[in-house]
Chains A and B, each alone.
Chain A
Amino acid sequence: MILTLHDYWSERGCVILQPYDMRMGAGTFHTATTLKALGPEPWNAAFVQPCRRPTDGRYGENPNRLQHYYQYQVILKPSPADLQELYLGSLAAIGIDFTRHDIRFVEDDWESPTLGAWGLGWEVWCDGMEVTQFTYFQQMGGFDCKPVAGELTYGLERLAMYIQNKDSVYDLAFNDVAPGSNVPAVTYGDVFLENERQMSKWNFEVADTDALFDLFKKATAECENCLANDVPIAAYEQAIEASHVFNLLQARGVISVAERQAYIGRVRDLAKGSCQKFIEMKTPEWEARFPGWTL
């Protein structure tokens, strides 16, 4: 499925990238999405991003909720006029039959308070299940996107459940065993079930919260250090780190409703600061290469 998507988007001019090597809650955090959404340069890319959402852990007991899963991320800047058709083409390519499934574009306002980003678009539903988030970025890091990028975020496991017609993510076939072969069949559960159990337990019950609070503080401080030394990409990595540590603290249930906003605000300030520095450093180049473009 991933290979089919790679082929499909590569044929349409996308750079095929590899996952970012940090813990993050969504493919949107990948610098190929956030930082590349800023500025006037055209940018088309596709990649898989492993995502960690500590609060979504279910100890392996829910058929489609996972604390660790894979997103397929496509970003096209500026957003092409036929983006919906392109997207549907990719679903057809991976084997979704539109005459037998109910594919719906359900209006959705997307917002990432920790990234200072928002956009409008759709949740794409397949037979009632959200399988893709479809967004036209309007702002990133508090800055207007000029031009606007279109972002497609596929939930790979969920789509696979439809294609393979499985009720549980853990029953998905993970390899293609030729008939008569003596290679053992491997399911998603074989690969990830134990991981889900242990990581859910760690996320919810075990993780040392003092150490996490400390990590949060350190990431914040390091981000500021990076900004002071004009390395906004490194600063942004610390924002990603702080965001994930915050998610872990949430899963441990140690942040109150009142505190939550303050923490989100702190992460947002880090992300915004990184974006701002990144833009400041790139603006002269952008203005020279793209006459008429201004911040």
Chain B
Amino acid sequence: MQTKAREDLARLLGAELEKAGLKGGEADTYATPRRLALILRDLPQATEAVSEELKGPPEGAPDAALDGFCRKAGLSRDQLTLRDVKGRNTWFAVIDKPGRATADVLAEAIPAVIRAFPWPKSMRWGDASFSTESLRWVRPLHGIVALLGEDVVPFEVAGVTSGAATLGHRFHHPGEITIGSAADYVEKLRACHVIVNQDERAATIALGAKMAAKQANLELVEDAGLLAENAGLTEFPVPLLGSFDSRLLAAPREILELTLKVNQKYFSVRDADGNMAPNFVCVANIDAADGGERIVAGNRKVAEARLSDAIFFWEQDLKVKLADQAKKLDRIVFHEKLGTVADKAQRIGKLARWLVEEGIVGAANTPFVPSEVEGRAAGGAQGFSTEPAPSKVEGLDTNGSGAVSREELADMAQQAGELCKADLVTQTVGEFPEVQGIIGYELAKAEGLPIEVAEAIRDHYKPAGQGDDVPTAPVSVAVALADKLDTIVGFIGAGMMPSGSKDPYALRRSAIGFIRLTIENDVRFSLKDAVIAALYFYLESVEFDIDRSIDSLLNIRDQLSFQEKLIRIAESLGMESVTLEAVAKELYRRSLREQPRISVRFDQDEQSFTNALQQILDFFADRLKVQQREAGVRHDLIDAVFALGGEDDLVRLLARVKALQVFVETDEGANLLAGYKRAANILKKEEWTPGGTNSDPEPAEAALIAALDEAEPRAEQAVADEDFEGAMAALASLRAPIDAFFESVTVNDADQTKRAARLDLLARMRDAVHRVADFSRIEG
């Protein structure tokens, strides 16, 4: 904040002065916890004098005109002069603007800057706060030193009068001191134990901290963030080496260093071997009378209390296996309609396993290149299919054989999913919520679980925000996707769609995270199928009290694959179709009769399964648009692809949108769009229903028919091959024939057969374009 305040001060004052015609030389800015200062050099004493001439009406003009001119110029008639303009006597007003004293300009500019200062958070205070219009400042504003040369620039802001007096260090020099001029500001304050230059304070701390450590044969753990933070917290920094009981070194270094840093802003210290030493460097803001003895003792007290807290928690946590911690999650309500966090962890495990079993995650991750047609057909799983996915997965190596079986990967994904929330009940996370995930990772490692599982536990919250990185390891990706999808599907399924500024469960952020995981890892799947799977796992946890037979089916503990289980359920429910969607719908229908503890019951009728599904997909579509808009992708183009329906593979959808964006921004694309819109408008006006009329085509019609005959299969094949540039090229070939058609053919021919045939042809053209994207959604 201090850095930004210094920059703002220089920028705003510069702008105010420039407005008044003043330009200074170099500026230095300073900030301490108590003051904000700017020294501007080489200011002129005054702004330059300017003479301005205004041309008025000619001599002999009506009085009213002349009076108006006088008013405008601010002069009386006798102050005007007559001049010859092209042989005609004309009145002129000559206005001399003398230069303004710099002090006067400053006396207006500084208060203006103070009143408009853009603090990230500002406050009101004191008697004046009776009104909300009173001055806002970062903390109460106590004094203003404003000097030009050696003279005070007089002004008043919110009851504070500018002057030359300020205060020294709060304890070393509590009295007033008078600043003579900008030249002695820094030095006078230094003499009163205030180092106003933040860089100097940082350098003092860096050097002092290093020296303090060195004297004890220790090495400082440097930390630029801590350095800046401590420089911002002090006016007279005095680094001091403190120590704590070495018995407190009994936890992972990360936890201890984090404790010292986050809670106390202490630097950590290591010994010659790089091990953490039972010491720290704190930065006092005073040169204490006893050399810092009591300060060090006081800080030791705090450090030991903090560390013993951290260690106490860690030791408690080590005693419990993660699987046992996970059981305690049943005490934590995830949401009253969606069960406990233990229920959620079970669902995440199942969904993560499903993502792997279906080959969605864990397939060879080759980057998606739209133009690369060959080999596409085999790549990626196309949602739910009864064909088994390839059983070996490349790119993973845990047993040295070069590959992990899909079954092993699925087991790890399920285990990591079931354990990923377990550290929430650990005491360390209770104390430091910011280390959730990291503690689970550490505990998983300490327990000897596979490293893939440990990493997935650590990384499943990612990406947490815009700048956060996205996991790439298959187990981590599966669990991260499953966690987010389960949350979104559950809340929206239970009727809690975010609205306006209300998004209490941060579903939008979850959706953006889900989308980024998918796109950046090139994960290929049908979003609809994945949403249905997530809904299905919610339904699986419904206790069917009325349909007891279903309950036992859902809880089969055999070594059944997901597919086999689905087939059994479908059979016993007497269903003909064994798709996941059909089974999920049937379970949903039957669950409506129950009073389950966990319920993604969107509404109390059978249709509501479909409604919920649609709402969830629409929600993702919206998020995708928002997320892609920030990346420069046009939302109307996303609409144009979405409007086709059926496209719910996010990676493929975006590839199509991007190819479309390139295309519509070319001349060919723009012209085709114009031709398309003309055709669509005619069809709309005529409310035309194509009827397959034939008549003798004119040459331009024949050419368009031929072009369509050629382009349609090409575009279709290209789309099937996911070669969207090829599809665009096929459309582009229609541009010239369409232009020619509109040029030479009259659609509304008197001959009704000809007219019908031509309208049919336009409809065919429109439909051909729609195979690639719904151009009616494209703007422009």
Contacts and interface: CB of A to CB of B under 8 A. Distances in A.
A104 B301 contact: no
B562 interface: no
A60 to B, nearest CB: 12
B126 interface: yes
A101 B282 CA distance: 13
A145 B140 CA distance: 15
B340 to A, nearest CB: 8
Nearest to B288: A100
A253 interface: yes
Nearest to A250: B430
B299 A128 contact: yes
A211 interface: no
A183 interface: no
Interface in B217-275: 233-234, 264, 266
Given A61-B312, A127-B294, A257-B424, A148 B305 contact: no
A175 interface: no
Contacts of A119: 123
Contacts of B108: none
Interface in A94-145: 98-107, 109, 119-122, 126-129, 136, 138, 144-145
Interface string A81-104: 101000000000000001111111
Interface stretch (A14-22, A184-192, A258-266): A258-266
Nearest to A63: B305
A161 B285 contact: no
A265 B1 CA distance: 30
Interface in A225-270: 252-259, 261-262, 265
A293 B130 contact: yes
A102 B126 contact: no
Contacts of A65: 305, 309
A273 interface: no
Nearest to B308: A62
B295 interface: yes
Interface stretch (B331-339, B525-533, B547-555): B331-339
A55 B430 contact: yes
A99 B171 contact: yes
Interface in A46-70: 55, 58, 61-65
Most chain B beta carbons < 10 A, residue from A62, A99, A258, A262:
A258
Contact of A128 (B123, B126, B282): B282
B687 to A, nearest CB: 51
Contacts of A155: none
Contact of A104 (B233, B297, B308, B333): B233
A100 B305 contact: no
A148 B131 CA distance: 9
Contacts of B282: 128
A43 interface: no
Contacts of B305: 62-65
A146 B126 contact: no
A102 B288 contact: yes
A80 B126 contact: yes
B123 A100 contact: no
Interface string A139-177: 000001111101000000000011000010000000000
B299 A63 contact: no
Interface string B296-309: 01110111110011
B335 A259 contact: yes
A107 B234 CA distance: 11
Contacts of B331: 209, 252-254
Contact of B298 (A40, A129, A138, A254): A129
Contacts of B142: 81
Nearest to B1: A107
B126 A147 contact: yes
A76 B764 CA distance: 79
B124 interface: yes
Please classify how large the interface on chain B is, using the bins under 10, 10 to 19, 20 to 34, 35 or more.
Answer: 35 or more
Most chain B beta carbons < 10 A, residue from A129, A162, A292:
A129
Interface string B113-151: 000000001111111111110000011101000000000
Given A127-B298, A127-B302, A167-B301, A256 B126 contact: no
A144 B131 CA distance: 10
Given A62-B308, A128-B298, A148 B126 contact: yes
Contacts of B334: 256, 258-259
B432 interface: no
A136 B136 CA distance: 12
A99 B129 contact: no
A1 B131 CA distance: 37
Contacts of A58: 309, 312
A120 B395 CA distance: 52
Contacts of B130: 40, 78, 146-147, 290, 292-293
Given A100-B289, A100-B290, A147-B129, A62 B123 contact: no
Contacts of A292: 130-131
A276 interface: no
Contacts of B138: 120
Contact of B125 (A98, A128, A136, A144): A136
Contacts of B122: 120
A258 B266 CA distance: 33
B328 A103 contact: no
A254 B299 contact: no
B515 to A, nearest CB: 20
A127 B296 CA distance: 7
B140 A136 contact: yes
A106 B233 contact: yes
Contacts of A61: 312
Given A102-B295, A148-B129, A128 B332 contact: no
B391 to A, nearest CB: 37
Contacts of B123: 119-120, 136, 138, 148
B504 interface: yes
B57 interface: no
Most chain A beta carbons < 10 A, residue from B125, B139, B425:
B125
B33 interface: yes
A79 interface: yes
A219 to B, nearest CB: 18
B497 interface: no
Contacts of A138: 123-124
A16 B424 CA distance: 43
B574 to A, nearest CB: 38
Most chain A beta carbons < 10 A, residue from B129, B289, B294, B297:
B129
B93 interface: no
Contacts of A167: 301, 304
A149 to B, nearest CB: 9
A44 to B, nearest CB: 14
A285 B282 CA distance: 53
B127 A78 contact: yes
* Smallest CB-CB A-B distances: 6 pairs: A127-B298, A148-B129, A128-B299, A147-B129, A99-B289, A102-B284
27 contacts: A55-B430, A62-B305, A64-B302, A78-B125, A79-B125, A79-B126, A81-B126, A81-B142, A83-B140, A100-B290, A101-B294, A103-B170, A107-B139, A120-B122, A127-B294, A127-B302, A128-B303, A129-B302, A147-B126, A162-B298, A167-B304, A256-B334, A257-B424, A258-B487, A261-B504, A292-B131, A293-B130
Given A78-B129, A127-B302, A256-B341, 18 more contacts: A40-B130, A58-B309, A62-B305, A62-B309, A65-B309, A79-B125, A99-B171, A101-B288, A104-B234, A119-B123, A127-B294, A147-B124, A147-B129, A253-B328, A253-B332, A254-B331, A258-B334, A262-B504
Interface of B: 1, 33, 121-132, 138-140, 142, 170-171, 233-234, 264, 266, 282, 284-286, 288-290, 293-295, 297-299, 301-305, 308-309, 312, 328, 331-336, 340-341, 424-425, 430, 487, 504-505
Interface of A: 40, 55, 58, 61-65, 78-81, 83, 98-107, 109, 119-122, 126-129, 136, 138, 144-148, 150, 161-162, 167, 209, 252-259, 261-262, 265, 290, 292-293
